């Protein structure tokens, strides 16, 4: 029986099974759902056992458990470690869901439920692809390990220590991940880079209290003026970050990467119109797709202080605040970036104002050379099933744990995603296009049989 026929025969039963998992509200961020997260982990263990995997283990952490399983009966063949997560995002605002988030429903060829695309649906495909090969051929063409966690949606805080402690158990020739998206329907992509991240909060203080602008205006520092002046110093007139040392570790764009970006055929005018903008903006000398995928940024996420109520109030604020995040690329060190930004702020603070900086989250960028043979094999697998070979992309977002896998296990990471950007992950009415469920199963099988 061909794999296409096999999956057509099993499709209904597989979707019923997936709906069972999606019905478990495994929201890792909310303590009230701790037992639900645990239930989702045990459901996964039972499913892995039925699929034919071995050495299935649940590893407790300081938070939610990590599930491990393997099938190691292909001596001399590569070992592939499949990573994914079984936790999901909160569902608020609930009233914006067409159907309840944990009552899965198929409408117009799409499976609606929290976790449908991020990431239970995509993890489930790997399990079913492995099960299909075992049922069809009695063994696997490669060695398989699985590491499925329950804390990705809260930053994977307990996974790096697990990776460090389990390096031998998890050793692999490649890490296979499905937690990303196609470029668009029918156009597969393999992500070769995810930006890193660091963040900080800035506070500026002046007098002991807010002051009357009639009595003190023009004679004392204004916290808002000082903050706005400080923040405006962070960029030059060409959209480039004006912080000494900010671009340390940023690589030049390679000809291969520029070629892959060009192949995407991104229509900047269409993006501008869809966003209702008069024009796009960013670092001069780079296209939109280069700016958001392969260049670092420094963004103001919130600026606040002073009177914000109705009408006017002639006040000189004593304090003002800003939240800043930086997206990082290449070998940028998040701690170095935080330090140079803080040094810049301290050097440029207005006389009479006091500055306080709170450094916060840090995550390195993930990068892999698209010429890596295993990525080329993955691109070919997409091509055989989708009829068009996968393009290599850079994603402007961050999945911090990808860098940890690459660094700790010293293995290439293959980001072979089957979602679509419009599937409302993290939002109401999250869904998964079943066209990509069907094609994804075949693509995973093709990859495992040819890697």
DSSP 386-445: HSSPPEEEEESS--HHHHHHHHHH---EEEE--B-TTS-TTSTT-EEEHHHHHHHHHHHH
C-alpha span between 36 and 44 (Å, rounded): 12
> What are 342's two structure tokens?
């803080």
Sequence-distant (6+) residues with CB within 8 A of 317 are 206, 210, 222, 223, 224, 305, 306, 307
Structure confidence at residue 396 (pLDDT): 87
DSSP label of 219: T
Structure confidence at residue 256 (pLDDT): 84
Structure confidence at residue 155 (pLDDT): 86
Cβ atoms of residues 112 and 98 within 8 Å = yes
Neighbour tally for 94: CB within 10 Å: 10
3-state secondary structure of 363: strand
Structure confidence at residue 50 (pLDDT): 98
Structure confidence at residue 195 (pLDDT): 94
3-state secondary structure of 132: helix
- In terms of DSSP bridges, do strands 319-328 and 110-112 run parallel, antiparallel, or are they unpaired? unpaired
φ/ψ (deg, to 5) at 342: -60, -40
Neighbour tally for 142: CB within 10 Å: 21
Structure confidence at residue 19 (pLDDT): 98
Q: String of b and e for 368-407 (b: at least 16 CB within 10 Å)?
A: bebebebbeebbebbeebbeebbbbbbbbebbbbbbbbbe
Structure confidence at residue 245 (pLDDT): 98
C-alpha span between 114 and 428 (Å, rounded): 8
C-alpha span between 137 and 165 (Å, rounded): 34
Residues lower than pLDDT 50 in the chain: none
Cβ atoms of residues 175 and 416 within 8 Å = no
Element (H, E) at 224: helix 223-232
- Whether the pTM exceeds 0.85: the reply is yes
For the packed helices 34-51 and 120-137, what is the interaxial angle rounded to 10 degrees? 20
Distance (Å) of CA 379 to CA 179, 386, 390:
16, 10, 5
C-alpha span between 223 and 368 (Å, rounded): 44
φ/ψ (deg, to 5) at 395: -100, 130
3-state secondary structure of 148: strand
Counting beta carbons within 10 angstroms of the beta carbon of residue 341, is it exposed (0 to 12), middle (13 to 18) or buried (19 or more)?
buried
């Amino acid at each position: 029986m061909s794999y296409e026929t096999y999956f057509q025969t099993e499709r209904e039963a597989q979707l019923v099974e997936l709906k069972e998992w999606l019905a478990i509200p495994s929201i890792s961020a909310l303590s009230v759902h701790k037992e639900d997260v645990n239930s989702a982990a045990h459901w996964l263990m039972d499913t892995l056992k039925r699929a034919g995997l071995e050495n299935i283990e649940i590893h407790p952490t300081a938070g939610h458990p990590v599930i491990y399983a393997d099938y190691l009966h292909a001596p001399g063949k590569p070992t592939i470690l499949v990573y994914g997560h079984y936790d999901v995002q909160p569902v608020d605002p609930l009233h914006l869901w067409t159907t309840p988030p944990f009552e899965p429903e198929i409408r117009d060829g799409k499976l609606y439920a929290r976790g449908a695309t991020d990431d239970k649906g995509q993890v489930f495909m790997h399990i079913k692809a492995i099960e299909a090969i075992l049922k069809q051929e009695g063994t696997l063409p490669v060695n398989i390990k699985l590491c499925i966690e329950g804390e990705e949606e809260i930053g994977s805080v307990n996974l790096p220590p697990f990776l460090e402690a389990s390096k031998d158990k998890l050793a692999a020739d490649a890490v296979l991940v499905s937690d990303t998206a196609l470029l668009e329907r029918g156009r597969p992509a393999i992500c070769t880079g995810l930006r890193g991240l660091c963040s900080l909060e800035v506070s500026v203080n002046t007098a002991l209290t807010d002051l009357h602008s009639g009595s003190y205006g023009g004679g004392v520092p204004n916290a808002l003026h000082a903050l706005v002046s400080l923040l405006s110093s962070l960029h030059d007139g060409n959209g480039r970050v004006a912080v000494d040392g900010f671009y340390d570790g940023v690589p030049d764009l390679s000809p291969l990467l520029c070629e892959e970006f060009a192949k995407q055929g991104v229509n900047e005018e269409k993006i501008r119109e869809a966003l209702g903008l008069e024009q796009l903006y960013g670092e001069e000398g780079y296209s939109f797709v280069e700016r958001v995928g392969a260049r670092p940024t420094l963004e103001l996420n919130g600026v606040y202080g002073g009177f914000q109520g109705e009408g006017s109030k002639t006040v000189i604020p004593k304090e003002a605040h800003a939240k800043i995040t930086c997206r990082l690329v290449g070998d940028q060190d998040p701690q170095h970036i935080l330090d140079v930004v803080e040094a810049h702020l301290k050097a440029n603070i207005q006389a009479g104002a006091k500055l306080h900086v709170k450094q916060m989250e840090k995550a390195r960028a993930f990068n892999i050379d698209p010429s890596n043979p295993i990525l080329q094999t993955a691109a070919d697998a997409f091509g055989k099933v989708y009829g068009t070979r996968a393009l290599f992309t850079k994603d402007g977002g961050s999945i911090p744990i990808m860098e940890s896998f690459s660094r700790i296990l010293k293995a290439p990471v293959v980001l072979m995603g089957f979602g679509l950007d419009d599937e409302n992950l993290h939002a109401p009415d999250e869904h998964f296009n079943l066209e990509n469920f069907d094609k994804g199963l075949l693509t995973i099988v093709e990859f495992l049989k040819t890697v």
